[in-house]
Amino acid sequence: MKPFFIYNTLSRSVEKFLPQHPPEVSLYSCGPTVYLPQHLGNLRAYLCWDFLRRALEYNGYTVRHVINVTDVGHMTSDQDAGEDKIEKTAREQHKSPLEVADFYLKLFQDDLAAIHVEPPLVWCRATEHIDAMIELIERIIAAGMAYVTPSGVYFDVEKYRGENRAGRLSRQSLDEQNAAQRLEHSADKKSPHDFALWVLAQPHHLMQWDSPWGRGYPGWHIECSAMSMKYLGETIDIHTGGMDHIPIHHENEIAQSESATHHPFVRYFVHNAFLTGKEGAKISKSAGKFPLLSDVIAMGIDPLAFRIFCMGAKYRSELALSDDGLRAAQSNLDYFREFARSIPAGAVSNSSDAEFSCEYRERFLDALNNDLNTPQALAVALELVAEAYRRGDYNIWNTLGAFDRVLGLGLAETQTAAANSAIPVEIQALIDARTAARKSRDFKRADQLRADLEARGYEVKDNRDGTTVYQLRHA
Ligand SMILES: [Zn+2]
């Protein structure tokens, strides 16, 4: 077995991956705060972790993946200041916090399904794990690392950090972190760096629970520590998140977790870089307008082309969103699908592939295991198909099928659907073009293509539920 290598933010180096209990791997990803639709930058993060999970599975590991859902306690500032994000939206939309969270979680899960992100073993919601959070806070207090005040229970950051000790992940001193963040100093905090584990005395906050310290609600950071420990144990193999989580959220998760357990919280911290806008600006919620998956679909681009687009950059490189980039990804998707549709039945049922495919298998695995080099893995898969065409030898279906366990394009379904429908390739191409035209609301072109299909003897029926049936008109 070839070793898998991944960049660990803890050591700032690419390390050989060794899980605690092979073949099992525990993987925790910081999940969404469900108060808005998740934009393409957020979706990129989950695609990165889907590639990671699938690459580990390709290497024979069994991955236990947990994603949390923050439905309480995430304030409009990453420190404790501002308003609860969920409650802010609830007030604006005249809904309950639960309705807001349910609505945006469903939207997010639908988007993930459209881009073929495998669902995690557990989606854990903060509001359903309050007991685990209270228990963990009690352990932190018992360890002498947190203190109770009238406004909340705070983690004693200076006591944990000691004299100017730099953060384990960010490698920043507290003063450097302070300069980067505008900290609001509650009079009860011993230091502005201290963060709330449990917030008290906020009578206007809609979501409140009883605790040993009074009615209140948890801070954002404690959610991840408590839920990851509940499902994955006190030491996790891999913890993922965006690079913006490094200086505060993940530093705080480490500090509070290790204060309670006295052993390492995470073995490998893996962080993804951002998707940037067309002008190089980070697509973020605070930047105002941010593209959604529905904007991509409105361009006539398949959601899976967005998946390929993201595969085209390494997870820790910034990726600039562009129309050209999305269109290039769409043509790569079409190229794979065209191959899957046109492959001869004999090549599909063949149990052994052409000998030339061996080299591609090696190169594909090398790319994945070299710090999850997805652009290279994608290139190898495209080259394999090109080589099959060049040689006129289509016996690569087992190899391509294995690659697709990581690519996640559903090529087996494409092949099966094409075989079952018996629609000729050139007709299917017209159908695809019409679907794309309809998605981009180019109804004039869609009508032309309908006429073309009808002239070739195909009946086109658009159903009210948005689906379309194409069938050969029988004489
Ligand atoms: Zn988290």
The CATH number given to whatever domain includes residue 223 is 3.40.50.620
CA 72 – ligand 1 centroid, Å: 13
CA 218 – ligand 1 centroid, Å: 13
CA 308 – ligand 1 centroid, Å: 26
Cα 436 vs. chain centroid, distance in angstroms? 26
The verdict on residue 326 lying in a domain is no
H/E stretch holding 62 reads: strand 62-69
- C-alpha dihedral (337, 342, 348, 352), degrees to nearest 10: -90
The residue out of 272, 298, 326 marking a domain boundary is 272
The verdict on residue 145 lying in a domain is yes
CA 359 – ligand 1 centroid, Å: 40
Domain that holds residue 244: 5-272
CA 262 – ligand 1 centroid, Å: 19
CA 221 – ligand 1 centroid, Å: 6
Write out the residues surrounding ion ligand 1, Cβ under 5 A: 30, 224
Q: How far apart are CA 437 and CA 462, in angstroms?
A: 14
Comparison of pLDDT for 351 and 402, the residue scoring more: 402
CA 311 – ligand 1 centroid, Å: 24
Q: How far apart are CA 395 and CA 354, in angstroms?
A: 5
How does residue 445 score in pLDDT terms, banded at 50, 70 and 90? Answer: very high
Q: Could you say which DSSP state residue 352 is in?
A: S
Residue 469 token pair: 């049936």
The verdict on residue 356 lying in a domain is no
The verdict on residue 295 lying in a domain is no
The verdict on residue 223 lying in a domain is yes
Q: Are 415 and 343 in contact (CB under 8 A)?
A: yes
pLDDT recorded at residue 286: 47
The residues with which 26 forms a beta bridge, in sequence order, are 64
Domain count, the chain: 2
The verdict on residue 294 lying in a domain is no
Cβ contacts of 38 within 8 Å, gap of 6 or more: 32, 104, 107, 108, 111, 292
Q: Taking the CA atoms of the chain, what radius of gyration do you get in angstroms? A: 25
Residue 343 token pair: 């492959």
Q: How far apart are CA 364 and CA 384, in angstroms?
A: 10
The verdict on residue 27 lying in a domain is yes
Mean pLDDT of 169-176: 79
CA 19 – ligand 1 centroid, Å: 21
pTM: 0.85
CA 223 – ligand 1 centroid, Å: 7
pLDDT beyond 90 at 353: yes
Average pLDDT of the chain, as a whole number: 90
Percent of the chain with pLDDT over 90: 65
CA 31 – ligand 1 centroid, Å: 7
CA 326 – ligand 1 centroid, Å: 30
How does residue 293 score in pLDDT terms, banded at 50, 70 and 90? Answer: very high
Q: Where are any strands of DSSP class E within 108-254?
A: 122-125, 146-149, 152-155, 195-200, 216-218, 236-242
Instruction: Encode pLDDT of 305-346 as tens digits.
Output: 999 999 999 999 999 998 899 999 999 999 999 999 889 888
The verdict on residue 128 lying in a domain is yes
CA 398 – ligand 1 centroid, Å: 38
pLDDT recorded at residue 467: 67
Q: Are 249 and 279 in contact (CB under 8 A)?
A: no
